[in-house]
Amino acid sequence: MAVFGFLILTSLCIAGREALTLSDCGAYGRRPELTDISVVCGTSAIDLAIQICPAVYTGYNETLLILNHIWDNVDCQGTLDTSVVPPVLRFSFPIREGNACGSNFMTTSAPGTGIFSDFSNIQSVNVSGVVRSYDPTIGTITYNAELKYYYSCAYPLEYLINNTQVDVSASSTALKDNNGSFISTLSMALYEDVNYTTPLVVPSVGIELRTNIYVQVVASNLTSQYFVLLDRCYASVSAQPSNSTFFNLFVSCSTDQLTTMLENGDSQKARFYFPAFRFIEQQNEAISTYYLHCITRLCERSTCSTFKQCNRKKRSVQTTIFQDGITEPSLLTMPIITRAEKPLVPKEEALSGGQSNDKSASVGLGIAVAVLIVIGVVAILMAASFYRKLKRLS
């Protein structure tokens, strides 16, 4: 929080030119406020923008606002931007431990809730720091207020992956915690070969059953300190699987016997494959469609091995009904279309075919009855003739 006091204005030379003065700022030359800093929590960097005129009003300039006490790194110094109104001092630094301009990294864990309720350990990382004013006054007292601009970005490390666009969440509230998201760096794709070189193109008639489907989840443009770990992947009849039949391909260490994990938690990509199947409730459909979802964890490289262990709540891998409502985050889905082993007869043809069969059966029955009647008449006539011959002989 900024600390305010009695102010005295100064005019300083910056890099051989005149610094912004109070007259340059006009109406924006005022006392500092809590909204003077905006924070954008990006996927690879954090961007700060601090209104410079309140700092000038307080007695400072852009060279006297220091990020996390770092003086000797040019990449950590602010850049004055007078092309916007009001003018701002911008800081931009990467989200990498050891190279984030002195930012603090704190990873916290808590039991999962909602769609993550199966997991007992859901992590978030908080990146925080402060831009402080440096008072150049020499002497016993000063009339300049100390300025502190705190920033904090919280990033969840668990995501539900699908194919719809998710915007990175950011905020412009000064000196308060902001939320960010790495989900825009994550993508899921299907391939038709174990080398993951040929994307799977699903034909309009669907994939043949038992065809291997190779799945890859990749983190791109993400700081190298995090690896991709799939916690759970499942298929559902509905793209929005609320109250929909679903089937777990794997949940943590519980894996369906036909699902094969190739790579997980060892790099910024995870890979597995499974044979194409169909839901029993779609067995009367010539072509059936279901959707693939993956709950993905970003874990620090040194801790990924911990999450590979069986750390989920007990739930059997089976087909059941999904009851949890999913509203956040937005679902990202990968459709899979399968076809039956043999083409099914359309309903209209089935009905007309059934009627034709009924007519054929009726005609056949009539012919059979007529033949039996003829045979009966012939038998009676032969019996009568035989009886007459016996009577004459007697």
End-to-end, the C-alpha distance of the chain in Å comes to: 138
Measured between alpha carbons, how far is residue 326 from residues 159, 274, 295 in Å?
A: 12, 25, 13
Q: Indicate the domain borders of the chain.
A: 13-181, 185-339
Cβ-contact 332, 272 below 8 angstroms: no
* Identity of the residue numbered 354: G
Q: Express each pLDDT in 370-387 by its tens digit.
A: 666 667 666 676 766 666
Q: Express each pLDDT in 320-359 by its tens digit.
A: 333 332 223 333 456 778 776 654 444 444 344 444 445 4
Q: How far apart are CA 151 and CA 341, in angstroms?
A: 59
CATH class of 185-339: mainly beta
pLDDT band at 26 (very low <50, low <70, confident <90, very high): confident
Element (H, E) at 23: helix 22-25
What CATH fold (topology level) applies to the domain 13-181? Immunoglobulin-like (2.60.40)
Give the global pTM. 0.62
User: What mean pLDDT is predicted for residues 93-104?
Assistant: 86
- Asked if domains 13-181 and 185-339 share a fold, the reply is yes
Q: Express each pLDDT in 195-236 by its tens digit.
A: 999 998 888 788 888 889 999 999 887 888 888 988 888 888
